[in-house]
Amino acid sequence: MMRLIAAIVVLTLVAIGAGALAGLHLFAAAERVADAKKSATPPPIASSYAGSARLRKLSPIVTNLAAPANNWARVEASMVTESMSDEDAGILAAHISEDIITYLRSASVGQFEGSRGLQHLRDDLTERANIRSSGKVRELIIETLVIQ
């Protein structure tokens, strides 16, 4: 009986030792992986725009909608343009703001419902801005749209 108890104690001590060694090995491996992740430089974020592209913020636009007449819309947007002088960009931004006002005054609230409506608005305004600028505006980004 004594031999059986001694064998169980020895096996228990061997299991504790093996578990401790395995735990230390796993802990060291986890530290190596964490250190490797810290020292690794992240890959550069690929941009779909060339180095000459510039983001220009438009002034907030507030106007009434066509239907129903008591609804108002406020749009804050930015445009991605080719490199151009600040004066030319300011003039272009004013013309694009006028186009946005004209578009919104001819639109109804139902046109902007849901994600598809917002996507159609963005596509239409980007197309108008691109035509107005003779291709200098690559994209019109709608930052906020509030309809009241």
pLDDT tens-digit series, residues 118-138: 999 999 999 999 999 998 998
Contact in structure between 65 and 109 (CB atoms under 8 Å)? yes
Give the list of residues 6+ apart from residue 100 with CB closer than 8 angstroms, or none: 58, 61, 75, 77, 125, 128
The strand pairing partners of 76, in sequence order, are 144
Q: What does the pLDDT read at residue 82?
A: 83
Contact in structure between 104 and 75 (CB atoms under 8 Å)? yes
Q: What count of other Cβ atoms lies within 10 Å of the Cβ of residue 122?
A: 16
Percentage of the chain modeled with pLDDT above 90 = 60
Q: What does the pLDDT read at residue 85?
A: 87
Q: What does the pLDDT read at residue 50?
A: 64
Task: State pTM to two decimals.
Answer: 0.66
Sign for the pseudo-dihedral over CA of 130, 134, 138, 144: negative
**Spatial distance between the Cα atoms of 140 and 144, rounded to a whole number of angstroms:** 12
Q: What does the pLDDT read at residue 59?
A: 93
pLDDT digits (tens, 9 = 90+) for 50-65: 677 888 999 999 999 9
Q: What does the pLDDT read at residue 84?
A: 86
Helix (H) or strand (E) holding 140: strand 137-147
Q: What count of other Cβ atoms lies within 10 Å of the Cβ of residue 141?
A: 15
- For 71, the token pair is 């609804």
Contact in structure between 136 and 82 (CB atoms under 8 Å)? yes
For residue 23, pLDDT over 70 is answered with: yes
pLDDT digits (tens, 9 = 90+) for 87-104: 999 999 999 999 999 999
Using CB atoms within 10 A of its CB, is residue 2 exposed (0-12), middle (13-18) or buried (19+)? Answer: exposed
pLDDT digits (tens, 9 = 90+) for 63-82: 999 888 788 999 999 999 98
For residue 46, pLDDT over 80 is answered with: no
